[in-house]
Amino acid sequence: MSREAPDIPEEGPWRLLEPEEVIADGTGQVRRIWSLVLASRDIPYRLIRREGMLVVLVPEERLADALHELRRFEEENRHWPPAPPVSRPPGGTVYSTLSVLLLLAAFHNLVRADYLIIQGRYPDWLQLGMAQADLIRDGEWWRLVTALTLHADLQHLLGNLVIGGLFVLLLCRETGSGLGWSLILAAGTLGNLANAWLQNADHRSVGGSTAVFGAVGILAAISAIRYRHHLRRRRLLPVAAALALLVLLGSEGEHTDLGAHLFGLLAGFLLGLPAGLLLIRHRRPGPVLHLLLALGSALLVAAAWWLALALPY
Closest CA to 111 of 239, 242, 208: 208
pLDDT at position 73 over 70: yes
* Domains parsed from the chain with CATH numbers: 14-76 (3.30.70), 93-310 (1.20.1540.10)
* 81 cis-preceded (ω within 30 degrees of 0): yes
Taking the CA atoms of residue 74, residue 42, residue 30 and residue 78 in that order, the dihedral angle to the nearest 10 degrees is 10
Q: What pLDDT digit, counting tens, does each position of 229-271 carry?
A: 554 545 555 556 656 666 555 445 555 677 888 899 899 999 9
Task: Assess contact for 66 and 46: CB atoms under 8 A.
Answer: no
The predicted pLDDT at position 39 comes to 84
Q: What is the mean pLDDT of residues 84-91?
A: 51
Task: Assess contact for 175 and 222: CB atoms under 8 A.
Answer: yes
The predicted pLDDT at position 9 comes to 45
Tell the burial category of 47 from Cβ atoms under 10 Å away from its Cβ (0-12, 13-18, 19+). Answer: buried
Task: Assess contact for 218 and 184: CB atoms under 8 A.
Answer: yes
Report d(CA 298, CA 182) in Å as an integer: 9
Q: What is the mean pLDDT of residues 157-169?
A: 83
Which residues does residue 131 pair with via DSSP β-bridges, in sequence order? 205
Q: What pLDDT digit, counting tens, does each position of 204-214 carry?
A: 888 888 898 89
Q: Out of 9-18, 135-144, 252-261, which region has the weakest mean confidence (pLDDT)? A: 9-18
pLDDT band at 224 (very low <50, low <70, confident <90, very high): confident
pLDDT band at 312 (very low <50, low <70, confident <90, very high): low
SS3 41: coil
pLDDT at position 298 over 90: yes
